[in-house]
Structure formats: C-alpha cells, structure tokens
Amino acid sequence: MKYKRILKFSIGIFVSIFFVFLVFRSVSFESLVVSLSHARLAPLAVGVATLVVAYLVRVKRSQIMLAAVNPAVTFGRSAVPYMVSVAANNVLPFRVGDILRAINFSSWLGVSTASILAVMMLERLMDLLVIIGFFGLTLFLFHARESGELALLHSSSTFLVASTVCIACLLLFPTLLHTPVEWAMSALQRIAPRIAAKLRPQVHRIFSTLTVIIHRPLMALLLGCTVLSWFFEACTFYMVACAIPDLVNPTVGWLAMPVGTLSTTLPSSPGYVGTFHYFVTVAARALGNTPGASTAFAILVHLVLWLPVTICGALCFAYWTIRRSSPLPFHHSGSEF
C-alpha cells in the first residue's frame, strides 16, 4: 500500500511538471510578467467576494443534507469540516481532505462516517451534473477560434448529454446503484468474508442516508444551491479575466470555469498545479487571447481560487482543534444506528 501511494504521488508530480512545461513552452516570460503587473485590483476584489458567496452556498447545501440526518447540525458546524477538507486537498496529496472530513469529523457533526460519505457522494454528483451542463452551455454559446485547441474543448455532445442523464438518474434514483453494489459485496464475500462483513453495515448506512436525504422538494433545493454556487464561481473566473487588461476576450471566464474544474479530476500534484493552468490557458487561447495574457489569467485565477480557501480552511482547522472536545450528540434515526 505504501509503494502504491508513492507511485501515485510520483505520477501526480510528473503529470504536473509535464503540464507546466506545456504551459510555459510557448510563452514569453516578459509578456507574462507585463500581463500580471497590469492586473487591476477592483475586479480581483469582486472575484474574491463572489468566491466567498459560492462557498457559503456550498456549505449551506452541506448543512441542509446533514440536518436531514441530524437536525442539530448548524451552518457553523458544517462549515468547519467542509472548508478544512477543501484546504487539505489544496496542500496534501491523495485527496486527504476528503478522508479527513469523513473520518475525523463524525463526532463533531453527530453523524456516522457512512452518512458523511453519502453526503459527499451527493455533492460530487450534483457538482458534476452542473459543471457538465455549464460546459455544454458555454460550448454552445462561444466559438473557439483555433481548430487545434478546439478538439480539446469540444467533447462529444452525445457524451455530455449521456453523462448528464446518468448523473441525474443517480441523484433522483440512488437505489439504481443498490444492485451492482450488492453484486460487488457478494463477490467480496467470497474473496474476503471478514472485510465484507465490516463493509456491509457501512454500505447499508450509506443507502439509508441517501433514502432520508433524497426526495423531490429537497433535491430541487439542493440542485438550486449547486447551480447558484457554480454560477458565483464562474463569476469569479470572469472577474479575474476582467482584471487583466491584456485579455482581449474576458468572456473566456465563463468557459474556463468548467474546463478548469473538470481538469482537476486528472492526477496531479496537490492544488492541481499544471493541469489546471494548462487547460485554462487552452480555453483562453481558444477564444482568441494571446499566450501571455492567457497564461497570466490561468495563474491569477488559480491564486484567487487557492489562497483564500486555503487560509479559511487553516483557520477552521485551528478552531476545530480548540473546540473538538465539544462534539455534537448523535441523532438516532433510520439512517443512524
């Protein structure tokens, strides 16, 4: 296991270095410095403000789902593990923040680890649904000018539609996963009965939590929060683009948001260095911007997305270390036992 982690980390570092090389190989250092030095502070400040709103909405979404399991979970309680996990993913490998959120904050939230995993799964599915939809919409509205880079941005419309439909079905009917999961558990039972015996109660708790959370009125609210949060993050991209005078087509911010966000699914170093910058640069250049301005935009928007969230997460972690001795009582319901 240790060697697998080392190998995975090494692959991520190599991928980041490779994409950093791709970003800077055709960019003049002087033009990059000039573009960054001309950045305006007022649009950057607005961009940070819209990013704050985006995360406030996401924390509220998390709190709504957790409160369905334990009504005592407040906005502040849910904000701490959410921001800590995002900040940890920004600085640590292997998405350690997700593991930390699921395991270490169970008593803090007064819900089981399985319930936190169910909430995280729903968050990922809703985020992916909205980002893919946003990507398809921006591809429809904007026309890339460089045919070579067009292929990197224009995924098959059939794939986008099929992915969106599949994710929507999983959100509305999570029991569709029950049969394949049961098959997997049966196979594991034959191979490793002890592991299967330990996992089966957790799997049951996850599906019980999904049953509690997912119903039409609540899902409509959660999806609305998801759309709103990603809209405000897209506003952050747009405002950062407006802050760079050398970026002749700042509307690239609307396209760069889904492109850059989807690029974070690729293996890379902590903070998505390299992969994020490359694909955001590609999106900016595809809409007619110069290499220097496009790279400056990628660097600046990554800094705006990374720094405030990481600082906030660090402060939340410090607060949690002080107050962790005051856990939230567990709420015993159908999904908690």
In a domain, residue 317? The reply is: yes
In a domain, residue 334? The reply is: no
In the prediction, which pLDDT does 239 show?
98
Report how far residue 288's alpha carbon sits from residue 67's, in angstroms, rounded to the nearest whole number: 47
In a domain, residue 121? The reply is: yes
Region class of 331: left (phi > 0), else alpha (psi between -120 and 50), else beta = beta
Q: How far is CA 295 from the centre of its chain?
A: 22
In the prediction, which pLDDT does 302 show?
96
In the prediction, which pLDDT does 6 show?
65
Buried b (16+ CB within 10 A) or exposed e, 70-93: beebeeebbbbbbbbbbbbbbeeb
Neighbours of 154 (CB within 10 A): 13
- HSE, side-chain direction, 13 A CA sphere, residue 31: 14
In a domain, residue 16? The reply is: no
In a domain, residue 280? The reply is: yes
In a domain, residue 19? The reply is: no
In a domain, residue 2? The reply is: no
Report how far residue 140's alpha carbon sits from residue 299's, in angstroms, rounded to the nearest whole number: 26
Question: Domain containing 127: what range?
Answer: 26-323
In a domain, residue 336? The reply is: no
- HSE, side-chain direction, 13 A CA sphere, residue 233: 26
HEC profile of 239-261: HHHHCCCCCCCCCHHHHHHHHHH
Residue type, 213: I
Pair of tokens at residue 182:
């049961």
Helices (H), the chain: 2-24, 29-37, 41-69, 75-91, 96-104, 106-109, 113-141, 147-153, 157-172, 178-191, 193-213, 216-242, 252-263, 275-286, 291-323
In the prediction, which pLDDT does 14 show?
75
Q: What is the pTM of this model?
A: 0.83
In the prediction, which pLDDT does 279 show?
93
Residues of the chain where predicted confidence (pLDDT) is lower than 70: 1-9, 12, 142-162, 170-172, 174-177, 212, 214-216, 331-337
Query: What is the number of structural domains in the chain?
Result: 1
In the prediction, which pLDDT does 57 show?
98
